[in-house]
Each structure stands twice: as C-alpha cells, then as structure tokens.
Amino acid sequence: MATLFSRYGTSMVKIGIVGGTGYTGVELLRILANHPDVEVACVTSRGEAGRNVAELFPSLRGFVDVAFTEPDPALLRTCDLVFFATPNGTAMQSAPELLAAGVKVIDLAADFRISDVALWEQWYGMTHACPQVLGDAVYGLPEINRESIRKAQLVANPGCYPTATILGFLPLVEEGIIDTSALVADCKSGVSGAGRGASVPTLMAECGESFKAYGVAGHRHLPEIRQVLGRAMSGEPGLTFVPHLVPMIRGILATLYGRLVKEGVDLQAVYEERYRDEPFVDVMPPGSLPETRYVRGSNRCQIAIHRPGDGDTLVVLSAIDNLVKGAAGQAVHNMNLMCGLPETAGLTSVALSP
C-alpha cells in the first residue's frame, strides 16, 4: 500500500478532538492510541486546559502524551480531521470555519444528523446555527453510505440507538419483507449513554437494581431512525421506539419487531447476504441470542433473527457497545474512510469477556 500523507505532507493523519473529557472523548482517545496511521495533535477542554490527558484518565498513561487545551480555532485548522465529542449544539458553531479551511469534520452529536432544519429545531429545541451546511453532511453509517463517506468533508456520526435499530431492521426494510407501517423498537442501554456529567437519575442509588423506560412520548433518536429507514424504503415508516435504562455501564440491546408480509423467504440468508462484506456486522447463527457482553469494547454489531412459533411476527436482536459501534468506534471507522485509510485500522479489538 502506498504511504498515506496528511495535507501537510507528514505520514500521519493529524487529528483534533473537541471535547475530550466525556465518555465518547476518552473512548476516541483509547481507540486512536493504538491506531497506526494517526497523530492526536490536540484535545480540547475548557475546564481541564493545561492538564495532561493521562492525569485525568490514568488508563491512557503511556499511550497518550498530550495536554488538554482551550478550544483554539487556529490550532484546529492545522488538523486534517477534527472530531466533535461535544453536546448537541456545539459542533454547528465551529464546523463552517473548519470546513472552509479544508478540515474534515466528524460530529458525534446530533447537529447534522437530521436533514430537515425545521424538524431538527423541533426535536432539539434550538435554532440551527448553520443550516446551509446540512445539505453537505453525510450520515455516517458505513453499512449504507460507505462511498459517500469516502468523499465527505462533514460526517454526522449516528446515534447509538439508531445504529442498533437501523442495522437490525435494514435488510427487512430494503427487501420489503415486513410491514413498515407498524415497526417496534424496544431498546435498552447502559448508563454511559447518558454521558459523564453528574445527574441524579444515573446515580447508582437511583438506577441500581432498577429498570425503567424513558422518552416514551418521543425521543430525539426517533426522527433520525425514521429518516434513515425511510430512505431505504422510499417512504417514512411507522415506528414505535421506546428506550430503557438498565443498571449496567456499556451496551445496547435492541429487540425489534415487525410483521412478515412475504412468505417463502430465507431470512437468515437475507441477513447473511446483506452484511457479508461488512467487517463490523456479525450475523449470528439461527437461534442465537446476542448479549451486550459479546460486543463490549468492540466495534461490532451482533444480530440474530427469530420467527417465534413460525408465526408472522419477526423478532430481530441487535447488540452493540454504545460507546464504540454506537459512538467513538463508528467515528473512527468514518475517519478511516474519509482519510483513505484501511477501514478496520485501529478497530480490530476483540470484545472483553467476561
């Protein structure tokens, strides 16, 4: 393979991370620490500026030797690619300037996921700062947008629930196998999905030994899932999406339901063929029951399809690590594609078990 060069002539791709103190930020640093083709040039944090990254996250000692800095647009403009591991509403303030300077941008929040500005503003409760950029953003799910991601300068990294849900439903929707007017996504996530900020609902005494639904009346990931599945079927699906919080740290298990409308279909073969060449989707053997522990720490999505009692209800189980395939790992996959690097570079870690 030819040597890959950054736009500044070096042999390493120069990376910036805005917002390096949250769970997705430190997960990015963990993955990039073992990436053979990148150099982490700067990691920003207003609250931790001047402090060494490994001092805040001792797990990175000996792997990451960089200090947090204040967000500096001039420094970020010297990077080849910048990740925004920031709250919703942050990336859209800075992305236009970086894009104009030729920097590639991956936003791990939701600023560029929904193409309809009015719909985005309705669900996120703020005015979009750069609606003119939305049309250029590519939705960063490689399993459906690989070639567009390769050519993109701005990528909207998918949400964690949408990743598990879309990958689980996608083959059925693409092939017209299920009734898309009444899909059900019953999803459970570990508490790291709520972020690293202190919050009473995610205190151990509040969520430990308990299990609850939330966002039943409407969750921000609902329009994102509808948008992507709608493009796959040329029309918006009817979808009931209910997320749940479970007292574990990592992982999402999506249990997906749909009514079969085509008989005589080898469902296992449909899934195996759809994901045959996908390095991070594992279609498990018939009868399998994916668990979040089987993907913990890895960039894999494990999927199994069931037809209870040979009836007309299909049940798809889709498991991911919400911080890896649901966030930082998928972002690195997108980075690899955008920068012409090997797709799986830095992402071949085997899941942690037990």
What pLDDT digit, counting tens, does each position of 220-232 carry?
Answer: 999 999 999 999 9
Joined together, the tokens standing for residue 26 give 């430190």
Q: Per-residue pLDDT averaged across 177-185, rounded?
A: 97
Helices 267-274, 160-174: crossing angle, 10 deg rounding = 120
Q: What is the pLDDT of residues 77-124, one digit of tens each?
A: 999 999 999 999 999 999 999 999 999 999 999 999 999 999 999 999
The ranges assigned to domains in the chain are: 13-136, 161-322
Q: Is the pTM of this model over 0.85?
A: yes
User: What are the distances in angstroms from CA 351 to CA 31, 189, 191?
Assistant: 13, 17, 19
The predicted structure's pLDDT at residue 5: 58
Q: What is the pLDDT of residues 256-294, one digit of tens each?
A: 999 999 999 999 999 999 999 999 999 999 999 999 999
Residue 294 and residue 351 in contact, taking contact as beta carbons nearer than 8 Å: yes
DSSP letters spanning 190-222: -GGGG-SS--GGGSHHHHTT--EE--TT--THH
DSSP code at position 314:
E
Tell me which amino acid residue 182 is.
A
The predicted structure's pLDDT at residue 199: 80
The predicted structure's pLDDT at residue 197: 76
- Say whether the peptide bond before residue 354 is cis (omega within 30 degrees of 0): yes
DSSP letters spanning 110-155: STTT-S-HHHHHHHH-S--S-HHHHTT-EE--HHHHHHHHHH-SEE
Cα distance between residue 53 and residue 210, in whole Å: 34
Residue 67 and residue 52 in contact, taking contact as beta carbons nearer than 8 Å: yes
Joined together, the tokens standing for residue 310 give 């040979």
Of the residues 160, 207, 301, 339, only one is catalytic, namely 160
Cα distance between residue 158 and residue 166, in whole Å: 10
Long-range CB contacts (< 8 A, 24+ apart) of 285-293?
288/317, 289/317, 290/253, 290/317, 290/318, 290/319, 291/253, 291/319, 292/190, 292/248, 292/250, 292/251, 292/252, 292/253, 292/319, 292/320, 292/321, 293/251, 293/351, 293/352, 293/353, 293/354
- % of the chain with per-residue pLDDT over 70: 97
Average pLDDT, the chain: 94
Find all residues with CB under 8 Å of 339, minimum gap 6, and list them. Answer: 4, 13, 37, 80, 81, 104
Same topology between domain 13-136 and domain 161-322: no
Is residue 339 annotated as a catalytic residue, yes or no?
no
The predicted structure's pLDDT at residue 234: 82
Cα distance between residue 192 and residue 109, in whole Å: 15
Q: What is the pLDDT of residues 315-349, one digit of tens each?
A: 999 999 999 999 999 999 999 999 999 999 999 99
Find all residues with CB under 8 Å of 273, minimum gap 6, and list them. Answer: none
- % of the chain with per-residue pLDDT over 90: 89
CATH number for the segment(s) 161-322: 3.30.360.10
Is 13-136 assigned to CATH 3.40.50.720?
yes
Residue 283 and residue 275 in contact, taking contact as beta carbons nearer than 8 Å: yes
Go through the chain and tell me how many residues it has: 354
The predicted structure's pLDDT at residue 194: 78
pLDDT over 70 (residue 3): no
Q: Per-residue pLDDT averaged across 39-53, rounded?
A: 93
User: What are the distances in angstroms from CA 274 to CA 39, 183, 252?
Assistant: 34, 20, 22
Q: What confidence tier does 1 reach under pLDDT thresholds 50, 70, 90?
A: very low
For the chain, the distance separating the N- and C-terminal CA atoms, rounded to the nearest angstrom, is 37
Joined together, the tokens standing for residue 138 give 């590519």
pLDDT over 50 (residue 2): no
Q: Per-residue pLDDT averaged across 310-314, rounded?
A: 95
